[in-house]
Amino acid sequence: MITTFDMLLDEDAVFGDITSETIIPEGLDAESKVIAKEEGIVAGLNYLKENVEKIGLKVTLLKRDGDSVKRGDSVAVIEGNARKLLLIERVFLNILGRMSGIATATKRLVDRVKRVNPNVRIAATRKTLLGKLDKIAVTIGGGDPHRWSLSDHILIKDNHIALVGLEEAIKKARRSSFVRKIEVEVERVEDAFKAVDLGADIIMFDNFKPNQISEVVKLFEARGLRDRVLLEASGGISEENISDYAESGVDVISIGALTHSTRSLDFSIDTTPKRN
């Protein structure tokens, strides 16, 4: 199976690495140390080890996915043919840095909301660059992937409703399978109650303010509906206001910023000739 690593490597070296192939002896063996340049949570090491070893290099992990690292920590050692080590260097660092940055941001937000409401889950969205790898990084940071793909649970969003209407969308969803959860994105309070009456399992409040959600949660409780559904907040959520959403009474907070705008964690690779 072609992996994201394979595709990125092919893109980076369409016709090979002409610099290394020109100046590095073909049979030279070397050792590369992967070093953290800042504090954070490391993620992606297991994935990278599996993919790098497919091309004949040896990877020794010094840290595990989910471990905390500080500046100067060695997280892995890669050994083997020097040309191959230089070939994979940038792709390795790009994936490691991005996944670790996402895991670090996720852990920070998970810790923040747990201090406010230990029952709230932080979830990713489909606003990803590396798809599944971004979501794996979220889970390593202690978050939830939400849907891994469109094939998971049914999520009825604004464009579905615009095309067939809320009632028709939920009715068709309920006829599809009893094992699939049905989630409905709502922009109005009345649609939240209508969706529950029609059989929705999860209500996603799209771009609601925390105080608006708090009021809706109170209404759900007053009507005896709170235990029937999961409530999710999404849209306009940031590190600055996420605690307010955690206090609003929702079960899940999904935040696109985890994967669409998180800064990568900085790592470097130092490569030296292998000592016999």
Catalytic residue chosen out of the listed positions 112, 114, 132, 157 = 157
State whether 145 and 32 are in the same domain: no
Looking at the structure of the chain, the number of domains it has is 2
Name the active-site residue from 33, 90, 194, 209: 90
The pLDDT of residue 275 is above 80: no
Q: Which of 65, 183, 206, 232 is catalytic?
A: 206
Q: Which CATH number goes with the domain that contains 64?
A: 3.90.1170.20
Confirm whether 185 is a catalytic residue.
yes
Shared-domain flag, residues 149 and 78: no
The tens digit of pLDDT for each residue in 236-266 reads 899 999 999 999 999 999 999 999 999 999 9
Known catalytic residue at 90: yes
157 is catalytic: yes
Q: How far apart are CA 121 and CA 27, in angstroms?
A: 51
pLDDT value at residue 276 = 63
267 and 256 belong to one structural domain:
no
206 a catalytic residue? yes
Asked whether residue 86 falls in the same domain as residue 206, the answer is no
DSSP state of 130: S
Q: Give the whole-angstrom CA distance, residue 173 versus residue 103.
A: 33
Domain of residue 177 covers 107-260
Cα–Cα distance measured from residue 26 to residue 20, given in angstroms and rounded to the nearest whole number: 9
pLDDT tens per residue across span 4-23: 999 999 999 999 899 999 99
Predicted TM-score (pTM) of the model is: 0.94
Query: Do 231 and 112 share a structural domain?
Result: yes
Kindly state whether residues 24 and 61 are assigned to the same domain. Answer: yes
Whether residue 45 sits in one domain with residue 13:
yes
Same domain, 227 and 150: yes
Q: Is 209 a catalytic residue?
A: no
What CATH number is attached to the domain comprising 136? 3.20.20.70
Q: Do 234 and 138 belong together in one domain? A: yes
Name the residue among 155, 215, 222 with its Cα closest to residue 186. 155
Q: From the candidates 49, 127, 132, 174, give the one annotated as an active-site residue.
A: 127
Q: Look up residue 112 and give its two tokens.
A: 């923040």
